[in-house]
Structure formats: structure tokens, C-alpha cells
């Protein structure tokens, strides 16, 4: 299967930056800025605001192959304090009217695919650092008498019990009639700053104009 074992780092490169809106449950936006800086003017650009929770979650686009879907998630610590993670994103799927859709959320991807079942480990994000995860599902219809599920919106929290944020999707979450979503554990995202190029090799011979010592002297 094409997506089996796809690294989270690869999923974090899917799609361009999308807007996200804070969940009405209390994770509203606040202006971002440096510690100790004065108040900044409100901005309509979600990239310039930080939710009260201190983290911003966005979807990175969906990769699809042979009925298997993979949606990349990115969590950024946009606050001024360290942010601890140790587990899986918490998901809520909604229909076009904003009504929650009952689905089974599997921690890992057992029964959906393989390669996404690495257990969570403690992770602390410093301000500006990011973590990634993936949402997995299959567009599979096994019973024509059961209405296929199609989620039009997705809300994500960093973990169960924390404030949810709506993420912008690039298409529906088309579960068929499987009724299952898999989600991988949070893991550190690859740094966005490329590594510096290696230093050029030193010349093996003596530099031009240098005096060569006679070993017989």
C-alpha cells in the first residue's frame, strides 16, 4: 500500500498553509507577540494570532491512494511557555450542519493500515516548535444498505479534555460505511530551517607557494 509507513514528516509537507478558527468552547484567538511586548493590533490573519491555549493546530492536506486517506496535522506552540504533549490528538467529526458524527476513533491505525502504531512518548515543545500527527481512514463501502459517512468539518484538540480547534479541510472525510478514523501519536516535526551545507573539504596537498621540508635534513 502506497501510504503504509509514510513518515509523519512527509505528511507535514502536504498542502499549503490553511486558515483555522478557534473552537467556540473557549479557545479563542489572542494577538501573538514577544514576551513583554506591548499590545498589538488585532489581525484577521490566523497566522498572526495565537489561541488562548498557546497552541495552534492546522490541517496540511489529504493524501489519497487506493481508498486509503491520510490527513496531516500540525500543532505549533505559538505561546510564550513550554507546552507538554504525551498522546494522541482528540478528534470530532461534523456534518455540513455542524452536527457531530458518531465515529470510532482508533489510537493508531489497527484495522485500517499498518505503520502508524508507534506508541506516544512525552514531548515538550518550546515556543515556536511544532509537532505532527496523521489522521487515517478508508473510503470503503461494504454494505450498500448502510448510508456512507462523509464528514465536512473536523475539530482537533491536542489531547482529550483540551480545547478543540476547527481545522480547514481540503475535501470531505469520506469514511464510506467503515465508521472508523485512525490517528497517530504526536511526534516532533522536522525543523523548517534547512541544515547548513557541509564545509568544503580541505586540500590534500601542500598549499601553493608553501615550502616543502626535506626529510633528510
Question: Residues, the chain, total?
Answer: 217
> What integer pLDDT is reported at residue 3 of this predicted model?
43
Q: How many CA atoms lie within 13 A of 186 on its CB side?
A: 24
**Cell numbers placing 81:** 511557555
> What integer pLDDT is reported at residue 95 of this predicted model?
95
Give me the tens of pLDDT residue by residue for the chain, a chain 217 residues long: 434 444 444 444 333 333 333 343 444 444 444 444 444 444 556 656 899 999 999 999 999 877 799 999 999 999 999 999 999 999 999 999 999 999 999 999 888 887 778 899 999 999 999 999 999 999 888 888 888 889 999 999 999 999 999 999 999 999 988 899 999 999 998 765 445 555 566 655 555 555 555 556 5
Q: CA 39 to CA 124: how far, in whole Å?
A: 27
Residues facing 20 on adjacent strands: 167
> What integer pLDDT is reported at residue 190 of this predicted model?
73
- 117 close to 106: Cβ distance less than 8 angstroms: no
- 88 close to 184: Cβ distance less than 8 angstroms: yes
> What integer pLDDT is reported at residue 32 of this predicted model?
40
Q: How many CA atoms lie within 13 A of 52 on its CB side?
A: 10
> What integer pLDDT is reported at residue 122 of this predicted model?
96
> What integer pLDDT is reported at residue 30 of this predicted model?
42
Amino acid at each position: 500500500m502506497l501510504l503504509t509507513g509514510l513518515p509523519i514528516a512527509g505528511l507535514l509537507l502536504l498542502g499549503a498553509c490553511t486558515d483555522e478558527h478557534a473552537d467556540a468552547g473557549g479557545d479563542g484567538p489572542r494577538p501573538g507577540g514577544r514576551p513583554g511586548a506591548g499590545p498589538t493590533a488585532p489581525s484577521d490573519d490566523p497566522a498572526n494570532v495565537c489561541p488562548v491555549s498557546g497552541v495552534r493546530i492546522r490541517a496540511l492536506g489529504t493524501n489519497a491512494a487506493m481508498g486509503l486517506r491520510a490527513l496531516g496535522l500540525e500543532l505549533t506552540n505559538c505561546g510564550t511557555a513550554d507546552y507538554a504533549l504525551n498522546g494522541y490528538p482528540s478528534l470530532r467529526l461534523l456534518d455540513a450542519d455542524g452536527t457531530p458524527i458518531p465515529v470510532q476513533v482508533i489510537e493508531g491505525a489497527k484495522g485500517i493500515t499498518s505503520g502508524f502504531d508507534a506508541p506516544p512518548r512525552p514531548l515538550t515543545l518550546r515556543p515556536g516548535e511544532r509537532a505532527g500527527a496523521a489522521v487515517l481512514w478508508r473510503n470503503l463501502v461494504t454494505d450498500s444498505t448502510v448510508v456512507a459517512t462523509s464528514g465536512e468539518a473536523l475539530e482537533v484538540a491536542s489531547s482529550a479534555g483540551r480545547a478543540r480547534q476547527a481545522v480547514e479541510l481540503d475535501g470531505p472525510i469520506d469514511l464510506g460505511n467503515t465508521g472508523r478514523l485512525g490517528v497517530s501519536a504526536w511526534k516532533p516535526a522536522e525543523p523548517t530551517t534547512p541544515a547548513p551545507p557541509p564545509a568544503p573539504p580541505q586540500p590534500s596537498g601542500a598549499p601553493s607557494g608553501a615550502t616543502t621540508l626535506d626529510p633528510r635534513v
